[in-house]
């Protein structure tokens, strides 16, 4: 399972960076989404995967003695997902708006800011 997830993380990062390096704005967004998911999966993976043992303490005990799934990474991912969701929606609106104003989908043609004024 770990190996599979590790491969998955690698693929998501690689695909995300590849897409971000394209010149199209839409592919840029897809790249951002992929790489964001890759990061979330990485947190999950590095929190060590423990199958089927939730961190719930029995009634008559004070601490967990057996191995348990660490809840912290899942809390982190939850936060990160919400944040990246917000950023992605902003990205889509921004790119839509940039496309209507600049009338191009090509990042190489967006060079008005580099011109000498």
Q: Are 29 and 90 in contact (CB under 8 A)?
A: no
**Is 69 a residue that touches another protein (CB under 8 A)?**
no
> What are phi and psi for residue 47, nearest 5 degrees?
-80, 5
Residue 39 is encoded by which pair of tokens?
A: 């990061």
- 65 near another protein (CB under 8 A): no
Q: Is 79 a binder of another protein (CB under 8 A)?
A: yes
Distance separating alpha carbons of residues 78 and 74, to the nearest angstrom: 6
Is residue 42 a contact residue for another protein (CB under 8 A)? yes
Cβ proximity of 24 and 107 under 8 Å: yes
Element (H, E) at 98: helix 71-102
Q: Is 66 in the site for another protein (CB under 8 A)?
A: no
Q: Which is nearer to another protein, 8 or 76 (CB)?
A: 76
Nearer Cβ to another protein, position 4 or 10? 10
Mutual angle of helices 25-46 and 71-102, in 10-degree steps: 170
Question: Rule CB under 8 A: is residue 57 a binding residue for another protein?
Answer: no
Least separation, in Å, of the C-beta of 38 and another protein? 8
Query: Binding residues for another protein, per CB under 8 A?
Result: 20, 25, 28, 32, 35-36, 38-39, 42-43, 45-48, 70, 72-73, 76, 79-80, 83, 86-87, 90-91, 94-95, 97-98, 101-102, 107, 110-114, 116-117
């Amino acid at each position: 399972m770990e190996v599979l997830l590790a491969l998955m993380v690698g693929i998501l990062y690689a695909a995300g960076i590849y897409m971000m390096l394209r010149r199209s704005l839409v592919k840029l967004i897809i790249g951002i989404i992929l790489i964001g998911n890759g990061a979330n999966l990485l947190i999950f993976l590095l929190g060590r995967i423990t199958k089927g043992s939730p961190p719930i303490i029995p009634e008559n005990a004070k601490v967990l003695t057996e191995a348990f799934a660490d809840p912290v990474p899942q809390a982190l991912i939850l936060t990160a997902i919400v944040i990246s969701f917000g950023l992605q929606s902003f990205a889509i609106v921004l790119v839509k708006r940039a496309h209507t104003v600049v009338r191009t989908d090509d990042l190489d043609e967006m060079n008005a800011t580099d011109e000498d004024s």
